[in-house]
Chains A and B, each alone.
Chain A
Amino acid sequence: MSTTDNGILEIVLEINNLTKYYGPVVAVEGLSLQIARGGVFGLLGPNGSGKTTTIGMVLGLVNPTRGSMRLFGQDVSGTTHRSALRRIGAMVESPAFYPYLSGRDNLRYFQGIGKGDGPQEVDQLLDLVDLSHRADSKYHTYSMGMKQRLGIAYAMLGDPELVFLDEPTNGLDPSGVAEVRDLIRRLGANGRTVVLSSHLLFEVEQVCDSVAILSRVRLITQGKVRDLLAQQDGVRLKATDQEEAQRILGTLKWVSGVRIENGYLVPEVPPERSGDLTKALSEQGVYVTEMSPVQISLERFFLEVTDDQVTSTLTEGVRS
């Protein structure tokens, strides 16, 4: 992430109390979040959690019911929004292009109506997304993967500082997913900010530096992926007497809880207190026979923070 000359983290997007109602239906409720410059930011949430609506509001496609936004440090309104949008690239939901134009002509068109750097840029972007060999084929002949890649190339037109990619791996085969993830990581380098909206937990964990988790149209938590998961790291152990060990651990004030998972005791303590655990147990005549660190996945974290009532709508995605 980039900082200003004063060492302050530079915020490219700031959303305050953003709300959107479609009649009686609440699409987003009081969303506030900040996205710093540089890296890949994940907007994670199940289908219907308000990710696409939020992106739509940032892009000026959806009118907010209330709330405010600041893009690149400027309040968003009318003309300033339009000029800010010229610094933003976006692929919202599925890619949408003109079927009767070639991939190259589609990019030329969108480059022409916005900010762009001539035919050379189009060629470079087609190279970047590995579409040069089909650049002059009509868009309607493209496979789903090629359409998604063209969508990413579109989002990169004009070398934007902030890029929104909404479910960019939808419909891709496993190798396509891996390619796109790799591409997203590369895009997030050199001071550019990529906002990846996805309901695929594994994907977000693999690619993103920071994440905001939305559930039921509200923001649940936000932070660096590493920090959020570190809060949940712990240890698991087996002891000579499991029941007694569970009882002893339950009496310790610095252990907030103990659960059993797959035959292991999982006390809720930070990993650095594992020595204290073995000491406390051995003092009571119970000995640890096996101990290993537990690293929580983003999926587990997500389920915990969202109270796992939305699990049915989540998929793990392709682990590649």
Chain B
Amino acid sequence: MRTVAKLVRWEWFKLRRRWLPWILLGFLLLFSQMAVWIGFFSYNSLRSSGGQVLVSDVAQAPDSRGQFRRVSCSTLRTDGTDALPADSSPDVMQGLLAQCQQQAEQQETLLQQGYDGFTLPGSLLAAFGIASSIGLILLTVLTASAIGSDYGLGTMRPILARGTGRLPYLTGKFLMLLAAALGALGVVGAVTVLSSLIAVGIAEAPPGVASEPSDWSDAAAAFVRTWASFIPYIAFTGMVAVLTRSAAAGMAVGLSYYFAESLLGALLGGLFSWFSTVGDFLLIRNINALAGGFNIGSGGDSSGSDIGLVQAAAALTVYTVMLTGIAIRSFQKRDVAGASG
């Protein structure tokens, strides 16, 4: 255990001196913060307009031949009759304000939902949701690179020749990647908190409280579920990198499978009815179900469609054990050659 802990520490020493993990983290932050700021701008747009009404450019138009223009409700409230043509009767103003009130009542819910999306703790749910999808792609690249590069550079030999041991070496790699994923999600969480505080400072709160805000426990659960959903895919990409002894192959297979599963799943599901049952046990579908987010590779198949959390967790545990087992067994049995370029 001490050896593994030491290896994790020194793997991190090595990893943090590379550009790759920081670039990947940059992408992760970029995409996750989009959740906060797109929500912020949508909310502001909705709020500032406050609804619109059609106003005629002439006071009396019995034959309806006059021109109409759109006036925002907020302008109508601010400018009052100045926003209307001269000599407009007070009834027109009353009628337009009534229309605005009606719109405001419908918007209240939308505004509240939008506000919850970029304020804490709802913003964390949105950020982790995106991170669960993008993070899987980025972790595929990182895992394949972390394991495959030792084959490519020929550094596997000097590492193992130090008496490191094959099992501790591979365990150390996997644990370091899990720790890196945990750290990256932590950074996403921290930056999201910061973003939310800034956004809340700028934005005005919506009138009234129409919906129930997310609970902090939901955010914590999203964090844990997102991180846990990374584990089987780290095992999968790691296994491919070990079997092929190549970072490039690890990335190619990892990314291809990510997108191919939903396409092939949909195709085969359409052709064979029995495949829908098999499909419930496929890797990415279960990862989506566990993460509770929306994954690009799912082709719009929202999480947890018909796979329960318990089933997803069980299936992914089996996947993780099986994939890690294959990787370890293969790694222990094989001879270690020099650099493969």
Contact among A86, A91, A98 with B155 in the assembled complex (CB-CB below 8 Å): A98
Check if A114 sits within 8 Å of B163, measured CB to CB: yes
Check if A82 sits within 8 Å of B163, measured CB to CB: yes
Contact among A61, A98, A99, A112 with B161 in the assembled complex (CB-CB below 8 Å): A61
Query: Given A94-B154, A98-B153, A85–B14 Cβ distance below 8 Å?
Result: no
CA distance A62 to B335 in the complex (A): 5
Contact among A62, A91, A98, A99 with B336 in the assembled complex (CB-CB below 8 Å): A62
Question: For residue A270, which residues in chain B have a CB less than 8 angstroms away from its CB?
Answer: none
Shortest Cβ gap from B296 to chain A (Å): 30
Scan A82-115; emit 1 where CB is below 8 A from any B CB, else 0: 1111101011111011111100010011101111
Check if A109 sits within 8 Å of B10, measured CB to CB: yes
Cβ of B7 under 8 Å from chain A: yes
Check if A60 sits within 8 Å of B159, measured CB to CB: no
Shortest Cβ gap from B264 to chain A (Å): 35
Cβ of B187 under 8 Å from chain A: no
Question: For residue B19, which residues in chain A have a CB less than 8 angstroms away from its CB?
Answer: 100
Check if B154 sits within 8 Å of A60, measured CB to CB: no
Check if B14 sits within 8 Å of A109, measured CB to CB: yes
CA distance A60 to B156 in the complex (A): 12
Contact among A56, A62, A101 with B14 in the assembled complex (CB-CB below 8 Å): A101
Question: For residue B163, which residues in chain A have a CB less than 8 angstroms away from its CB?
Answer: 81-86, 88, 114-115
Check if B10 sits within 8 Å of A61, measured CB to CB: no
Cβ of A280 under 8 Å from chain B: no
Cβ of A41 under 8 Å from chain B: no
Cβ of A1 under 8 Å from chain B: no
Check if B335 sits within 8 Å of A108, measured CB to CB: no
Question: For residue A86, which residues in chain B have a CB less than 8 angstroms away from its CB?
Answer: 162-163
**Which residue on chain B has the smallest CB distance to residue A58?**
B161
Contact among A97, A105, A108, A114 with B162 in the assembled complex (CB-CB below 8 Å): A114
Query: Given A61-B335, A63-B335, A110–B162 Cβ distance below 8 Å?
Result: yes
**Which of A88, A112, A115 has the most chain B CB atoms inside 10 A of its CB?**
A112
Contact among B6, B153, B157, B339 with A113 in the assembled complex (CB-CB below 8 Å): B6
Check if A113 sits within 8 Å of B159, measured CB to CB: yes
Query: Given A56-B335, A61-B336, A93-B338, A99–B153 Cβ distance below 8 Å?
Result: yes
Check if B9 sits within 8 Å of A94, measured CB to CB: no
Shortest Cβ gap from A125 to chain B (Å): 14
Check if B154 sits within 8 Å of A96, measured CB to CB: yes
Cβ of A129 under 8 Å from chain B: no
Check if A82 sits within 8 Å of B165, measured CB to CB: yes
A60-B160, A98-B14, A101-B14 known, 7 other contacts, Cβ within 8 Å: A85-B162, A86-B162, A92-B158, A100-B17, A110-B159, A113-B162, A114-B162
Cβ of B70 under 8 Å from chain A: no
Shortest Cβ gap from A86 to chain B (Å): 4
Scan B1-14; emit 1 where CB is below 8 A from any A CB, else 0: 00000110110011
Check if A94 sits within 8 Å of B338, measured CB to CB: yes
CA distance A85 to B163 in the complex (A): 5
Cβ of A59 under 8 Å from chain B: yes
Check if B339 sits within 8 Å of A96, measured CB to CB: yes
Contact among B153, B157, B339 with A61 in the assembled complex (CB-CB below 8 Å): B157
Cβ of B333 under 8 Å from chain A: yes
Question: For residue A96, which residues in chain B have a CB less than 8 angstroms away from its CB?
Answer: 153-155, 157-158, 338-339
Give B contacts to A, CB under 8 Å: 6-7, 9-10, 13-14, 17-19, 153-155, 157-165, 333, 335-336, 338-339
Cβ of A302 under 8 Å from chain B: no
CA distance A97 to B6 in the complex (A): 19
**Which of A82, A109, A110, A113 has the most chain B CB atoms inside 10 A of its CB?**
A113
CA distance A180 to B18 in the complex (A): 32
Interface residues of A in 111-142 (CB under 8 A from B): 112-115
Shortest Cβ gap from A229 to chain B (Å): 32
Question: For residue B165, which residues in chain A have a CB less than 8 angstroms away from its CB?
Answer: 82
Check if B155 sits within 8 Å of A97, measured CB to CB: yes
Contact among B7, B18, B339 with A94 in the assembled complex (CB-CB below 8 Å): B339
CA distance A59 to B166 in the complex (A): 12
Check if B158 sits within 8 Å of A85, measured CB to CB: no
Shortest Cβ gap from A251 to chain B (Å): 57
Question: For residue A97, which residues in chain B have a CB less than 8 angstroms away from its CB?
Answer: 153, 155, 158
Contact among A100, A108, A110 with B158 in the assembled complex (CB-CB below 8 Å): A110
CA distance A115 to B161 in the complex (A): 11
Query: Given A85-B162, A86-B162, A96-B158, A112–B153 Cβ distance below 8 Å?
Result: no
CA distance A81 to B333 in the complex (A): 15
Question: For residue A109, which residues in chain B have a CB less than 8 angstroms away from its CB?
Answer: 10, 13-14
18 A–B contacts, CB within 8 A, in A order: A59-B160, A61-B160, A61-B161, A61-B335, A82-B165, A88-B163, A93-B338, A94-B154, A94-B339, A96-B339, A100-B18, A105-B13, A110-B158, A110-B159, A112-B6, A112-B10, A113-B7, A154-B158
CA distance A105 to B333 in the complex (A): 30
CA distance A81 to B154 in the complex (A): 21
**Which of B19, B164, B339 has the most chain A CB atoms inside 10 A of its CB?**
B164
Question: For residue B157, which residues in chain A have a CB less than 8 angstroms away from its CB?
Answer: 59, 61, 92, 96
CA distance A105 to B14 in the complex (A): 9
Question: For residue A108, which residues in chain B have a CB less than 8 angstroms away from its CB?
Answer: 13
**Which residue on chain B has the smallest CB distance to residue A157?**
B162
Check if A112 sits within 8 Å of B335, measured CB to CB: no
**Which residue on chain B has the smallest CB distance to residue A139?**
B153
